[in-house]
Structure formats: C-alpha cells, structure tokens
Amino acid sequence: MYKALLNLQALYLHLGLDISATENQVYAIAGIIILLFAIVISQLVTPSKKVETKTKSTPIPAPVKKEEAAKEVVETTRPDLTIVERPIAKEIVEEVVEEVVVAKELVEETVEAPVKTEGPSWTDRLKKGLSRSRQEVWGKLGNIFSGKVLDEDTLEEIEELLYSADIGPKTVAELIDALSEKVKEGSFGQDEFKAFLHEFLKGRMASIQDKVDSDLYKFDESKRGQTKVIMVVGVNGAGKTTTIGKLATKLTSQGAKVVVGACDTFRAAAVDQLQVWCERAGAEMIRAREGANPSGVGYDALQKAINDKADYCILDTAGRLHTAGNLMDELTKSKNVLKKLDETAPHQTLLVIDAITGQNAIRQAEEFNKALELTGLIFTKCDGSSKAGSAVSIVSQLKVPIAYIGVGENVEDLNVFSLDEYLNALLDF
C-alpha cells in the first residue's frame, strides 16, 4: 500500500495535480488506481478454455506395473492448458488513461484554489508610518483648537508646537505671519486652519517636487539599454544599502536590467548585505576586495553596465560624515571618474536622509549638495520618528525634491514620494 501511494504521488506530479488535496481524496484516488491495475493484470493472462478432466469407460485393464500405472493416471488427469495472448493491451491502457483523467477532474473540482490575500495599500502603509509625526503635528494642534477659534492668544502656542514638530524655523515664521493675516480677517476655526496648513505646506513644496525625474521610479521601455547612473550617498546608518536593495528590486520587477556597484569598500558586511539584496532582486553586483579604491569600483560597475546595455547602474557609496572634508572630496572624485565613461553621469545623485535626524538633516544635505549637486532625496525610517514633518523645511530650503519615502523594512514600504499623499497622511486629511 505504501509503494502504491508513492506511485500515486509520482503520477500526481506527472499530471500536474495538487498534492495538497485532502487525505481522504488522496486515498479515494489511490483506491481507484489500484482497482484499475488489478483489472489490467486480470485481463492480460486468461486461460483459453476451461479445464476439462476426461475419464474413459474402458474394460478392466490387465495388471500393470506400479510405475506405469502412476504415469497413466497423471497423463489422463492433466488438464489441457493453453496460454493465449490477447490483443487488448492498447484498449486497456486507453481505459486506464481515461479513468485517470476522470480522477484528475474530480480532484480539481474538490480542491479549492488558494485565496490570494493582498497586503495593505500604500496609502494605508504611509498613514501608519507617519502616525507618530501626525500625532506630534496635528494631534496637539487639535487640542489647542478644542472649543476655540484662532486668535492672537493661540498663535504663540501654535508657533511653539510647530517648532517642536521640526517643521523648521523659517517655515514656521512664514506660517505664523500668514496666520496673523487670517486672524485679522475674522474668526478662523479648526477646519479652516487645517485646510490652510495643508495648502501652505503644499505651496512651499509643489514647484520643487515637480523636478523629480520619472525614470527614477518608472522604467521606460523605449529607453531600454540607455544606461542611467544613480549615485546614492549619505551618512552611516541612514539606510543607504537597504534602500538601494529595495530600489533595485522595484526596477527589476518592471523588467529593467540593473547593475549595482558596491563602492563601500571599507565595510565588508555592507557589501555582503547588498549582495543578498541583489540576488533577491535579480540584479548583478560588482564588488572589489576590501579596502579597494571606491572610485575604481564605480568605474568598473558602469563599464559593465554599458557593455551589457543595462538600464540602470546604481552605486552604493561609503557612508561618511558631512563634516569630513577628505571623505567628501573622495565622493567628488568618484563622480568625476564616472564622466570618463559617460560625460552626463551620474544622471541622479540621491541623498538618503534618516527622518530621526530632523532638522540636523538640513546641515547634512547642505554639505552633500555643495559637493555633489544633489538631484533628489530619499526620506527613510519615517515610521520610527515623530520628525517626518522636517521634510517640508528640507525641501523648501534646499530646493531639492524628495524622490522616495520609506516607512518600514519591507520592499513595499519604500515608494515614490507623493506630496498630496504625504500631507494627507501627516495632517490626517
């Protein structure tokens, strides 16, 4: 019985049946198959006619020797058996196949297809990720407005609260000035303030956010083989390596061919981590021995991408403090080396910013922007910070748009930055 079940399992796999059928169904089909094989065996070998034992009425024989008598008895009682091959093998096989097909249909009818469950939408992920910042900004502002209208007495409370939310001193000052004008015009309730704040912040960022290159998040099939170089920079711990892995995964999932250069040659662990991400994403990674020249690795990665007609070449640089002048100079050198292969490279220079740093990120961004001319920002770890509101002041002061925003560890938790979605989640619209 055990061997029959093993044969049944092999037959399941050959026919493409789902082995996860219930145990009762498996035993039912096993019974059918075993019965069919029993029928086949019984019909392959059949006697040509019934055994006939003939006895003749003869006169009483004369006495014979004992040995001769025994021989005669055997010969007269032995049945005449003849094995005849019957041409029914083909018919039997066809019957068996037909029964198996019927059995397969029965199993497919009784096994329900697995129910595909979808994860949270990006809107839900973003809203959950910004919950701490939302509570810091709008939750406390809502308490200020509880049972009140906006007047001169509440302006000071609002100003202090916006400072603590890391909106930024310049942005807060402009906001308070605009609110003062509204107060002079008449009563200004909670709903009016909420709508005003949304439009004010949007006005500070909208024109800058329009500068984001769509090639960063949407692969254009018409540009296949035209290698686009993305250089990713940032301080240690901001999440560069993980972000690059997620970005590579998103691009390859759209059909793009991606080459990643592991230019952080000082941290073997970072290179190994990036290797795992690339293997999952289906991207090719170029690495060098520990301590090798980072600019050389970048050059090799771009050369490989150009030769293979890759669509993207993403370079992971070593993390460094913005105050370390010699290390910042090294980034500039790496950028210039790329131009030997492509005068327009890098096409994008992205700074990864940890949302936890808040307003301190502005100084970082200023130094990186001065050395490399940033084209975009990637805001990470917003789910672990109450200072995601600092994105407003960073964008408005640097005039550099946010390309991506991250609210978790999964690939799905990194997505294209949408200003309206961000403000709606931040202000609980």
Same domain, residue pair 237 and 181:
no
93 pLDDT tier (thresholds 50, 70, 90): very low
In a domain, 121, yes or no: no
Spatial separation of the C-alpha atoms in residues 300 and 72, rounded to whole Å:
99
Structural domain boundaries, residue 244: 214-427
Same domain, residue pair 277 and 345:
yes
Would you tell me how many other CB atoms lie within 10 Å of the CB of residue 74?
A: 9
Residue 140: closest CA among 405, 393, 406, 386: 386
- Domains in the chain, number: 3
Same domain, residue pair 201 and 238:
no
Same domain, residue pair 181 and 249:
no
Same domain, residue pair 232 and 169:
no
Q: With pLDDT > 90 as the criterion, what percentage of the chain qualifies?
A: 32
pLDDT digits (tens, 9 = 90+) for 115-173: 444 678 988 999 898 888 888 776 777 777 666 667 777 888 888 888 877 778 888 89
Same domain, residue pair 302 and 394:
yes
Report the CATH number at residue 140.
1.20.120.140
In a domain, 95, yes or no: yes
Identify the domain boundary among 145, 179, 209: 209
Is this structure's pTM higher than 0.85?
A: no
Report the CATH number at residue 254.
3.40.50.300
| Lowest mean pLDDT segment, chosen from 183-197, 362-376, 415-429 | 183-197
pLDDT digits (tens, 9 = 90+) for 400-412: 999 999 998 899 9
Q: Supply the pLDDT for residue 161.
A: 83
Same domain, residue pair 187 and 226:
no
Same domain, residue pair 296 and 326:
yes
Identify the domain boundary among 209, 225, 256: 209
C-alpha distances out from residue 311 to 61, 274, 299, 376, Å: 107, 19, 16, 19
Q: Supply the pLDDT for residue 56.
A: 44
Q: Supply the pLDDT for residue 27.
A: 59
Same domain, residue pair 190 and 242:
no
Pairing verdict, β 376-380 and 348-354? parallel
